[in-house]
Structure 1
Amino acid sequence: MAEERRQELVEAAFRCISATGFEGLRLRAVAAEVGIDHSTLHHHFPTKKDLIAAVVEYATGRLRLPGSTLAEHLNLLGRAMREQPELFVVLREIDLRALREPEIRAIVDRGEMGWRHALATRTAPEHAALIIAVVKGLTLIPDDPQDVLSRLENLLEGT
């Protein structure tokens, strides 16, 4: 039950950031959306930063495909950009906040370290920064990202 409530809070916070941006994230509103008191939310997430870390984990978890090749991973990302743009809205909102807030930067950095590690199993480790930069940039462009991701894959694989 506690884990289900925690997940409801994470998903409510995710929807809030997606709809109103990071600046619009209000813990009282998140708690109210799942039908609990604001003070009860703190039993699940002692701080707002703890909730944000859980939101980042939730969003990035939806972008994982364990055991996949680089092509499969890039295809997953391209499909997610088209079908689930709210994932990237939330992640970019948090990235922007991380520029001004070191604690949020630490949360983002932890997520990116995991991503870099996962990419290192799919391609040369020095390519991770390029892939991350391209993916983040593509999420700011409303066009279909698949062509760019395919060209990136070809470039990295030397074809």
Structure 2
Amino acid sequence: MRSAAAGGKTSSTELGAARRRDLLEAAYTLIAEKGLEGLRTRDIAARAGVNISTLHYYFGTKDELLAAIVTHVTDKFVEAQRRPAGQGAAGPADARAILRAHLESAWRTFQDNPHLAAVLQELSVRAQRDPAAQAALRAVHKEWNLAVEHLVRQGVRGGQLRSDLDPRSAARVVTSFIIGAMTQLGIDSEAFDFHLVSDELDRWLAPADGKRARSRG
């Protein structure tokens, strides 16, 4: 099959994917500006530079649009968080450094996407009464927590983290810290220094007196 690049043309599939992304980016920006309650499909279409029928072509129902928005928004965060977690292949001795990198990556992600904290909060509130949004966000949180839990377990076994940590609970502490920190800093950017607080979290996770804990095997 001849590729679009070879012919110097953009395929209809690529154009469709790009238009779909444009619509989701428009929705993302409008949610940040007006909240989910103020989100209107006509406004999304206008912001993306298309007519309303085009939006309905890509998203047949409002539930379908909402599910796509949840995926689009959470992907902005989750993809960035997968990268430092994936470095775990280097070995359990690196687990504490990877967790520190995970925290730093979260900070950079929110700094690079200034609307992200507000939009995620809007979606979280919506998920409390919308089953589709709830299911989508639950899946994202589950994947994220499992990735951090794996790192904590590696760190405990390798002696880089406290030997008495429960990996599941510690992972929830890490992810809850990131969510809570971004919520507070989204309201007041001077509430605290993210790096200083994340350093405290790192010290809490570390073996006593900075010594290597005995491996659990």
- The alpha-carbon deviation at position 82 of structure 1 amounts to 3.8
Please report the TM-score for the alignment, with normalisation by the length of structure 2: 0.65
Q: Which runs of 5+ in 1 are unaligned?
A: none
Name the residue aligned to 2:92: none
Q: In 2 relative to 1, CA 116–50 (structure 1 residues): closer, same or farther, beyond 3 Å?
A: farther
> What's the % identity of the aligned pairs?
32
Deviating beyond 4 angstroms after TM superposition, the runs of 4 or more aligned structure 1 residues are none
- The alpha-carbon deviation at position 32 of structure 1 amounts to 1.5
Q: Which runs of 5+ in 2 are unaligned?
A: 1-14, 88-97, 153-166, 186-190, 211-217
Cα deviation 1:6-37 (Å, max 9, x = unaligned): 10011001001111111111111111211222
The answer to whether the 8 A contact 2:26-2:48 is kept is yes
Counterparts of 1:129 and 1:44, CA distance in 2:
36
Higher relative contact order (CA 8 A, sep 6+): 1
Paired residue for 1:99, among 121, 128, 133? Answer: 128
- The alpha-carbon deviation at position 106 of structure 1 amounts to 1.3
Q: In 2 relative to 1, CA 157–85 (structure 1 residues): closer, same or farther, beyond 3 Å?
A: farther
Paired residue for 2:104, among 75, 94, 101? Answer: 75
Query: 1:1-150 residue pairs with structure 2 within 5 A?
Result: 1-63=15-77, 64=80, 65-66=82-83, 67-68=86-87, 69-123=98-152, 124-142=167-185, 143=191, 144-150=193-199
Matched to 2:177, the amino acid is: V
Q: In 2 relative to 1, CA 145–55 (structure 1 residues): closer, same or farther, beyond 3 Å?
A: farther
Q: CA RMSD in A?
A: 2.0
Q: In 2 relative to 1, CA 119–21 (structure 1 residues): closer, same or farther, beyond 3 Å?
A: same
Q: In 2 relative to 1, CA 151–102 (structure 1 residues): closer, same or farther, beyond 3 Å?
A: same
